[in-house]
A and B are shown apart, each in its own frame.
Chain A
Amino acid sequence: MMTKSIASFLLGTALAVTATGAAFAQDKTVKIGALSDQSGLYADLGGPGSTLAAQMAIEDSGLAAKGWKIDIISGDHQNKPDIGTAIARQWFDVDKVDVIVDVPNSGVALAVNNVVKEKNGVYINSGAATSDLTNAQCSPNTVHWTYDTYMLAHTTGQALVKAGGDTWFFLTADYAFGAALERDTTAVVTANGGKVVGGVKHPLNTPDFSSFLLQAQASKAKIIGLANAGGDTTNTIKQAAEFGIVKGGQKLAALLLFLTDVKAIGLETAQGLNFTETFYWDMNDQTRAFSKRFAEKMKNNAPPTMVQAGVYAGVRHYFKALEALGGNPHDGAKVVEKMKSMPTEDDLFGKGEIQPNGRTIHNAYLFEVKKPSESEGPWDFYKLVGTVPGDQAFTPLSESKCALLKK
């Protein structure tokens, strides 16, 4: 360890000397901070896997060979906004971090959003759902990859209303994310002639949902909308099966469901659920190749979730912007502006763009969970049902309340 750090110090000094000789002005150091829930209910969908995704993005970018020095550190926000902002501040002030990635949990994500703006860093969010990040609370320093509540509402939500599910009852996680998802879905339901007949807000990380499920059952709503995520969603779906909710004729709308959630519920119970994601490991040769490399490095050999894939794609695009700038200006707003000016393209999400409000636009896919008999491998879970083009899935700029758009 000791010899290794001495060696890298010497190497670093040598490189620095050469660098000074060659191009004085161009700073080619980058520090990435992967901020996530490392041990709680969202750790499997982001967490250590997101850090790994960022590391793979560094390796795949090939920037090290071009003389760049890229470091990565990770932090655990424990789903607490105060902890998340404290880490972010320390990273900017002490550790000189340039970019914060991932940050699931909308409550934490919005709090960190303000810190990044204040410190003029770069914020590539993949884990959080709230559409406010690129809407009312948009920032010149923020890019929101992968998904958001508007997209979830306008894909899964809309499909269900159009299929006849015109009365809804919400089970909502009682914080920023649940509120945003319920708000965006309610808008879709009412716009399509449906009605929300009731709802209940449950605390984050609730082990037992039976009381809430009984209320949903009593409401007689055709659709029970789950405006929650991670462990909360898996527990709801599992316990709904126990209480015979689906057999009783009501349908569950898993508005946000991740690969790791399906694994946790098990196909036996999860089969037939409809939901939306923007990435699935088994889409095409490129996603399969990436996922294979990723899974080999993961502890439990899990393929990436869409959040982890979003971290990878976001970091790759960030590097492209840095390369185009010829060096790291350590000026977040400037880098993000460059990111927005370049079309996005990567193996995982395909072609896309970043809108002026920071929203990344790419396809969204409607999936259905396979029957146990249809599944051919330990992570073979999804059947593709439909594709929604990015411009129809995400908030149209005309509806966005982002202040950056009023110029």
Chain B
Amino acid sequence: MQALYAQLLVGLINGSFYALLSLGLAVIFGMLNIINFAHGALYMMGAFVAYFLLNIGGINYWWALLLAPIIVGIFGMILERTMLQWLTGLDHLYGLLLTFGIALIVQGVFQNYFGSSGMPYAIPDQLKGGMNLGFMFLPIYRGWVVIFSLIVCVATWFLIEKTRLGAYLRAATENPTLVRAFGVNVPRMITLTYGLGVGLAALAGVLSAPINQVRPLMGADLIIVVFAVVVIGGMGSIMGSIITGFALGVIEGMTKYFYPEASNTVVFVLMVLVLLVKPTGLTGRAA
């Protein structure tokens, strides 16, 4: 039983990354109608920016948490301005292919310079060590990841669903012409939204840097699972993607305990089941 608690908690930690990444995807898909396959590459860039900040600029983890999302977010906005915006109104497939291509290029460039095994990034001193919870030894850093990502997820949800800015955003996706008539600069808002989604990916990258290696393929390995999470949760649903992110982390964690060989596939099995029963995803609305 104790082991089970421990696995639940570990699942929750992985779920935090799924939630942060699928949230970013949901924001981008919901507002821009783009299936952002570059998300994994941007997550990887977040980790690399943190690595560069530390090793070249001497800037610590805490500043990286703030700066890396901004830097990568700006990179994302440049992508949106120069490439993605021309795809407005076209089929989803175009956006998917373009972002997939961008992901391959970005990963290829990083791999060319940094190889595949990656670089170490130390856990910040303040979060080193762990607590004995009785049923398990919880590294403080992992606890921090869960709490911090929960706060970020809820804040993002609040921003989009409960504030005036969020209302503009949602209105602009429904009817851009009308919103523009009210004097809102819709293209700029869309660029900023893409920047926000990308920033979330970069934030997840910084969070994961001390746990995993900072390596070029870290995003490629994760992104497929995250897409499955988004499909299960329902494309474009903010709360849905947060909840499914955490839930699937837990389910995957359980699988690692009961039948580890299947731990890489369980998410996809669930995806198939959900698609068969409810093709719009658990919380998705029919388009």
B212 near A263 with CB under 8 A, answer no
A264 near B120 with CB under 8 A, answer yes
Provide 23 A-B residue pairs closer than 8 Å at the C-beta atoms, listed in order of the A residue: A44-B117, A201-B260, A201-B261, A207-B221, A210-B10, A210-B14, A211-B253, A211-B257, A231-B116, A231-B117, A234-B117, A235-B212, A244-B130, A248-B137, A260-B115, A261-B117, A263-B117, A264-B117, A264-B118, A264-B119, A265-B120, A266-B120, A299-B113
| Interface flags, A217-235, vs B, CB<8A=1, else 0 | 1100000000000110011
Q: Which of A45, A215, A243, A300 contacts B137 (CB 8 A)?
A: A243
Q: Which residue in chain B gives the minimum CB-CB distance to A242?
A: B139
Q: Which of A41, A202, A205, A211 contacts B117 (CB 8 A)?
A: A41
Q: 18 more A-B contacts (CB under 8 A) besides A202-B260, A211-B7, A244-B137? A: A42-B116, A201-B261, A206-B263, A208-B212, A210-B10, A211-B253, A211-B256, A217-B137, A231-B215, A234-B117, A238-B211, A244-B139, A248-B137, A264-B118, A264-B119, A264-B215, A299-B112, A299-B113
| Interface flags, B130-141, vs A, CB<8A=1, else 0 | 100000110101
| Interface flags, A296-338, vs B, CB<8A=1, else 0 | 0001101000000000000000000000000000000000000
Tell me the count of chain A residues lying within 8 A, CB to CB, of chain B: 45
| Interface flags, B103-143, vs A, CB<8A=1, else 0 | 00000000111111111101100000010000011010110
A268 within 8 A of partner (CB): yes
A264 near B213 with CB under 8 A, answer yes
A39 within 8 A of partner (CB): yes
Interface residues of A (CB under 8 A from B): 39-45, 47, 174, 200-203, 205-208, 210-212, 214-215, 217-218, 230-231, 234-235, 238-239, 242-244, 248, 260-261, 263-266, 268-269, 299-300, 302
A214 near B212 with CB under 8 A, answer no
Q: Which of A39, A208, A218, A300 contacts B114 (CB 8 A)?
A: A300
Q: Which residue in chain B gives the minimum CB-CB distance to A269?
A: B120
B261 near A203 with CB under 8 A, answer yes
Whole-angstrom CA separation of A235 from B118 in the bound complex: 11
Whole-angstrom CA separation of A212 from B137 in the bound complex: 14
A300 near B115 with CB under 8 A, answer yes
**Which 10 residue pairs spanning A and B have beta carbons closest together?**
A266-B120, A211-B256, A264-B117, A203-B264, A43-B116, A44-B117, A242-B139, A44-B115, A210-B10, A214-B6
Given contacts A208-B212, A210-B10, contact A242 B141 (CB under 8 A): yes
Minimum Cβ distance to chain B for residue A52 (Å): 13
